[in-house]
Amino acid sequence: MLNNSIYEFLLELRENNNRDWFHANKEKYNQAKKDFEFFIQLSIEQIKTIDPRLSGLQAKDCIFRIFRDTRFSENKTPYKTNFGAFLSAGGRKSRFGGYYIHIEPEACFLGGGCYMPAPNVLKTIREEIFHNPLDFKNIITNKEFSKHFPELYGDKLKTAPRGYPKDFEYIDLLNYKNYAVGKMISDDIINSDKYLIEIENTFKALYPLNQFLNELISDV
């Protein structure tokens, strides 16, 4: 189970998102961070049986910082009110497809794939789908995949990407800006012993998409 220290800290931080409170409660943060890191390492050990690319991965390399970059944001609160980790070969900054775990009271989710891929990666993905559309379509319409992820995540282009014919039969598959997915998870599941099972089932369904993406990205 996810340790209670994580939720308790995030709930308090949401109500006290300022540096004075954070520094006064640094011990609580350190404990919550330690417990989250332990949980992510457990998740890695579980998921690597599905996706061998995660072998040798360390939780500390996957977890995102809690400190927000407020330079270009209207929201000037200094801290994120979530813990997040991206599990992929190379860690949180990896260009490869992976698995994302997001813990935030009333807003937890699981997801993955390639979010905001670099232009050359995005071009490579689109090229492969253009030449072999059914390979990709069969993955995202698979019954088990669709049960967890009814649709891909994020905005789509309103017209065909530059260089592709508008009358291409599967043009909708090329219009995605992200080849990623997400799925909300209830707090009841998060705070129960069913959560690791939920992670395993969800990411097992996600694996074929990551496998498709990562075989392409390896050659970029």
DSSP class of residue 56? T
> pLDDT tens digits for the chain (220 residues)?
788 999 999 999 999 999 999 999 999 999 999 999 999 999 999 999 999 999 999 999 999 999 998 887 888 899 999 999 999 999 999 999 999 999 999 999 999 999 999 999 999 999 999 999 999 999 999 999 999 999 999 889 999 999 999 999 999 999 999 999 999 999 999 999 999 999 999 999 999 999 999 999 998 7
The residues spanned by each domain of the chain are 4-217
What per-residue confidence (pLDDT) applies to 1? 74
166-193 as b/e, with b when 16 or more CB fall inside 10 Å?
eeeeebebbbbbbbbbbbebeeeebbee
What per-residue confidence (pLDDT) applies to 129? 97
What per-residue confidence (pLDDT) applies to 200? 96
pTM of the model: 0.95
Report how far residue 185's alpha carbon sits from residue 199's, in angstroms, rounded to the nearest whole number.
10
Quote the distance between the C-alpha of residue 191 and its chain's center.
Answer: 19
> How many residues make up the chain in this entry?
220
